[in-house]
Amino acid sequence: MLQRRSALAALAALPFAARAQDNKPIRLLVGFPAGGGTDAIARLLGEALQASLGTPVIVDNRPGAGGQLAAQALKAAPPDGTTFFVSHDHTISILPLVLKNPGFDPAKDFVPVAGFATFANALALSGGTPALSLPEYLAWVKKQGGQGNVGVPAPASVPEFLVKLLGEKNGLNLQSVPYRGSAPMIADMLGNQI
């Protein structure tokens, strides 16, 4: 783990090094609540940056609207090199396509700094679901009248589109239930709420 963190610190420090000499805190905006994957990545990045640069790093969670609130906070921040957005791709690439006015234009308002993580999509089932595989889940939903609810970590996100596609391809009415991040979604799944 230490080697991975050291490598991450070295790579991550490059864009920040130019402004490190003023020792102002670096703020990492996260569009999802604490406890989820994006928050965990931001905290690891923050630790690595702080160790590498000797500059305080603050992880600032702004959950809601699929990361839109954090993106708007980034746009409103002074362009002094101290505020960065740790984001999913859907906040930058999909929200501007599906919302009339997301409050930001990624091509005009932001400058990409680094890509440092990828996320895989998975379908996880609550303990109250008798299925152990995707085919079993699809068969179970068909037996329930072809309707099912599937939690997704954000509205207008890749997981939400995948749920819709899965339903369409299998003749099912799968209703996506958008959450303010993966942490509250997983809590509801473990509590058999979705």
Three state DSSP letters for the chain: CHHHHHHHHHHHHHHHHHHHHHCCCEEEEECCCCCCHHHHHHHHHHHHHHHHHCCCEEEEECCCHHHHHHHHHHHHCCCCCCEEEECCHHHHHCHHHHCCCCCCCHHHHCCCCCCCCCCCCCCCCCCCCCCCCHHHHHHHHHHCCCEEEEEECCCCCHHHHHHHHHHHHCCCEEEEEECCCHHHHHHHHHCCCC
Based on the fold, state whether residues 61 and 101 are members of the same structural domain. Answer: yes
User: Band of the pLDDT at 12, cuts 50, 70, 90?
Assistant: low
CA 62 to chain CA centroid, Å, is 11
- Mean pLDDT for 13-31 is 73
Check whether residue 101 and residue 142 sit in a common domain: no
Over residues 157-177, mean pLDDT: 94
Are 165 and 90 contained in the same domain? no
CATH code, domain with 61? 3.40.190.150
pLDDT for 179: 92
Statement to judge: residues 82 and 29 lie in one domain: yes
Residue 17 has pLDDT above 70, yes or no: no
Amino acid present at 43: R
Q: Indicate the pLDDT class of residue 23, thresholds 50, 70 and 90.
A: confident
The pLDDT assigned to 127 comes to: 86
Do residues 98 and 55 share a domain?
yes
Name the region of 39 (left: φ>0; alpha: ψ -120 to 50; beta: rest): alpha
Same domain? 90 vs 159: no
| pLDDT at position 44 over 90 | yes
The reply to whether 38 and 104 lie within a common domain is yes
Number of domains the chain is built from: 2
Q: Does residue 105 fall inside a structural domain?
A: yes
pLDDT at 14: 52
Q: Which of 16-30, 90-104, 135-149 has the highest mean pLDDT?
A: 135-149
Residue 124 lies in a domain: no
Same domain, yes or no: 101 and 8 = yes
Q: What are phi and psi of 166, to 5 degrees?
A: -60, -45
Tell me whether residue 115 is in a domain: no
Query: Do 142 and 49 belong together in one domain?
Result: no
Domain hosting residue 40, numbered range: 2-109
For 156, counting Cβ atoms within 10 Å of its Cβ (0-12 exposed, 13-18 middle, 19+ buried), the class is buried
pLDDT of residue 105: 94
Instruction: Tell me if 127 is assigned to some domain.
Output: no
What's the pLDDT tens digit per position in 57-96? Answer: 999 999 988 899 999 999 999 999 999 999 988 888 888 8
Instruction: Retrieve residue 124's tokens.
Output: 């996880």
Q: What is the mean pLDDT of the chain?
A: 88
b/e 7-38 (16+ beta carbons within 10 angstroms → b): ebbeebbeebeeebeeeeebbbbbbbbeebbb
User: Does 140 share its domain with 186?
Assistant: yes
96 and 148 share one domain: no
In a domain, 119, yes or no: no
Q: Domain check: are 86 and 143 in the same one?
A: no
